[in-house]
Structure 1
Amino acid sequence: MTSPATARRLWALAEPFHALTYFADEAQAAFAAAGLRGFWAGYFAGRAAPLGAVGAEVVAATFVNFSPDFVARRVPGVWADASPADALQARLDGVDAAVRRVLGDGWTSSPDAVEAMELAAAAAAAVDLPGRPLAAANSAVAVPGEPHLVLWQALTTLREHRGDGHTVALVQREIDGVQAHVLAAAAGRSDRAWLQKARGWDDAAWGDGVAALTERGRLADGELTAEGLAVVAAVEADTDRLALAPWRALGDRGCDRLAELLVPVRRAVVSAGAWPAGNPIGVPEPG
């Protein structure tokens, strides 16, 4: 039986490939060419585009970990610069160019890329959609038949499916966006300064998060208590469990083979400098 650890391993292997749309120079150039100038304009428009021209409230609710004020400074303004369709095309154009640089033109239609595409697409077709808005929206995105782009979209659907489940794990424990980051920093999974800068939480909001967690017995003097450690572990365990359905549908053999195929892909992205060290996504090293 496919285990929750498989879901975590495949996320860790696949996330740098997905994140080319955030960190690769080609992605920034493609978004700028579409009228989305500046990192955050491209980020919010590109990631939210599958949902349509939604407002700041929907983006803040589905992305969860950003300050609503930080979101509102970009959304819905980004839709005046580029339509969701334009943003979707820009993110594909950026990923296409980045993959060709990082992995080479020959890899994009290689037997390995085709096999990885087929495995990831099979898993993405099995995502459970109720309560998973970002996964559902991405599952409806049509992409060209080029293997590396189909692979990217499939892995994107799967990572958003995981993220939707992570939101469920947080909400059921009444952990809001800033509290989630306070816990992550206290657990040593990311850096407070990085998180505040990249997610828009000012010192006052961060302090409110610390106070709320302290009152609930999850922090003491800024450190995780035994209860806090248990909560962090439970959130991660639930996130892995809730991400498991598509990987279980793929089966152990398919999961192992996809992991094998993604190892050199991840290595190439990291080696190319397209996966910044210490970035706020908080992905562990693959086991």
Structure 2
Amino acid sequence: MTARDAAGRTARLMWTHYEPVHAVTYFHPRARAAYEAVGLRGYWRGYFAGRAAPLGPTGPAPVIAAFYSFAPHMVTRALPAVWQLAAPEEALRARLTGAVQALAELTYELPERHLTEAAELLEAAADGIEVAGRVLGAANAALPRGEYPLARLWQAATTLREHRGDGHIAALVAADLDPVETLTWRVAVDMSPANLLGRSWSEQEWAQARERLAGRGWLTADGEPTDRGRAGFQAVEEATDEAAARPWRALGADRTQRLRDLLDPIARAAHTVIPEGSPIGLPALP
């Protein structure tokens, strides 16, 4: 294994440990309740307002680009209308409040020193990101740090996951995969269509994406993945890992391993509220 391969492997392994920390904001009832408390009723209002809030009171165009996988008309329906319900500052407070309450419920058995050390190391990793070309990563990195360990932990996890997501989108664009083609590929390989229909692409758009993937040799006429397609998407995943490796090189092997050990019980607790087969494609922890 080359040093580059090892760095990418570390980046993917650490993603499986900090992504669940972030993901409680999508799946825990307390997170949903925090959005509703500021007027963001309905799952997608909270999702679009909370995730887009670091960008300010933006319209749909930047979010269509940055979020990547949603049909444009779905984003346009949510933005900028959500800012009439809650300003970005209110949405940011709601998403952090809900996430902290969720994590507090999930990690109440862990001592505060455990959470504090995890937050400090995860913040150190987040300090190592390169924000150039990473819109969502940069916007989250610019937010003030929380006052308490769980707030700091969640914000650092969010910065790292959006940084990684920005790199993943860059890899998809470089591979000439558009949003609906990417989702169609995931359905063909490892995901239930029911988990992705909420992105609001039409049946015709799904069918056309399958035809395009078949035309480039990624799918068979029956919609099954080909060896060429698997190799092509594996290259996207490897590029994503490599683009996310810099924070872990900066943190160093020993501190990265220590952080992984600290995050492990937190991530396992967070996994209990993440539905199996969720759209984020998060694998089970080893």
**Bin for the TM-score computed over the shorter chain:** over 0.9
How far 1:123 moved relative to its partner? 0.8
1:18 match: secondary structure = helix
Match of 1:114 in 2: 116
Find the aligned partners of 2:263 and 2:8 in 1 and give their Cα distance.
18
Find the aligned partners of 1:226 and 1:278 in 2 and give their Cα distance.
23
Q: How many residues align?
A: 281
Match of 2:83 in 1: 79
How far 1:155 moved relative to its partner? 0.8
Q: In structure 2, what residue type is equivalent to 1:279?
A: S
How far 1:202 moved relative to its partner? 2.2
Find the aligned partners of 2:17 and 2:187 in 1 and give their Cα distance.
22
How far 1:148 moved relative to its partner? 1.0
Match of 2:213 in 1: 213
2:58 match: secondary structure = coil
Match of 1:175 in 2: 177
Find the aligned partners of 1:280 and 1:238 in 2 and give their Cα distance.
20
Find the aligned partners of 1:201 and 1:255 in 2 and give their Cα distance.
39
Uncovered stretches (5+) of structure 1, i.e. residues with no partner = none
Question: Does 2:238 align with 1:237?
Answer: yes
Does structure 1 conserve the Cα–Cα contact (< 8 Å) formed by 2:146 and 2:155?
no
Does structure 2 conserve the Cα–Cα contact (< 8 Å) formed by 1:127 and 1:245?
yes
Does structure 2 conserve the Cα–Cα contact (< 8 Å) formed by 1:191 and 1:280?
no
Post-superposition Cα deviations, 1:64-123, rounded to whole Å, max 9, x if no partner, equal 01111111111111111111100000011101211221112x64x711111111111011
Runs ≥4 residues deviating over 4 A: none
How far 1:201 moved relative to its partner? 1.8
Match of 1:269 in 2: 270
Does structure 2 conserve the Cα–Cα contact (< 8 Å) formed by 1:21 and 1:95?
yes
Post-superposition Cα deviations, 1:125-176, rounded to whole Å, max 9, x if no partner, equal 1110111000000001113220111111011000001000000100011101
Find the aligned partners of 1:144 and 1:52 in 2 and give their Cα distance.
19
Find the aligned partners of 1:186 and 1:250 in 2 and give their Cα distance.
37
Find the aligned partners of 1:170 and 1:270 in 2 and give their Cα distance.
27
How far 1:219 moved relative to its partner? 1.1
2:161 to 150, 159, 162: 159
Is 277-286 or 76-85 further displaced after alignment? 277-286
Does structure 1 conserve the Cα–Cα contact (< 8 Å) formed by 2:100 and 2:154?
no
Does structure 1 conserve the Cα–Cα contact (< 8 Å) formed by 2:268 and 2:285?
no
How far 1:270 moved relative to its partner? 2.5
For the aligned residues, what is the CA RMSD?
A: 1.3
Find the aligned partners of 2:161 and 2:17 in 1 and give their Cα distance.
11
Find the aligned partners of 2:257 and 2:140 in 1 and give their Cα distance.
24
How far 1:249 moved relative to its partner? 0.6
Find the aligned partners of 2:41 and 2:29 in 1 and give their Cα distance.
13
Is 231-240 or 93-102 further displaced after alignment? 93-102
Give me the TM-score of the superposition, normalised by structure 1.
Answer: 0.95
1:94 to 98, 113, 126: 98
Identity percentage over the alignment?
Answer: 45
How far 1:286 moved relative to its partner? 3.1
Match of 1:256 in 2: 257
Give me the TM-score of the superposition, normalised by structure 2.
Answer: 0.95
Find the aligned partners of 1:170 and 1:237 in 2 and give their Cα distance.
11
Q: In structure 1, what residue type is equivalent to 2:209?
A: G
Find the aligned partners of 1:236 and 1:215 in 2 and give their Cα distance.
22
How far 1:38 moved relative to its partner? 0.6
Find the aligned partners of 1:143 and 1:39 in 2 and give their Cα distance.
26
Find the aligned partners of 2:91 and 2:33 in 1 and give their Cα distance.
12
What pairs up with 1:190-209 in 2 under 5 angstroms?
Answer: 190-197=191-198, 199-209=199-209
Match of 1:281 in 2: 280
Question: Does 2:139 align with 1:137?
Answer: yes
Find the aligned partners of 2:187 and 2:130 in 1 and give their Cα distance.
30
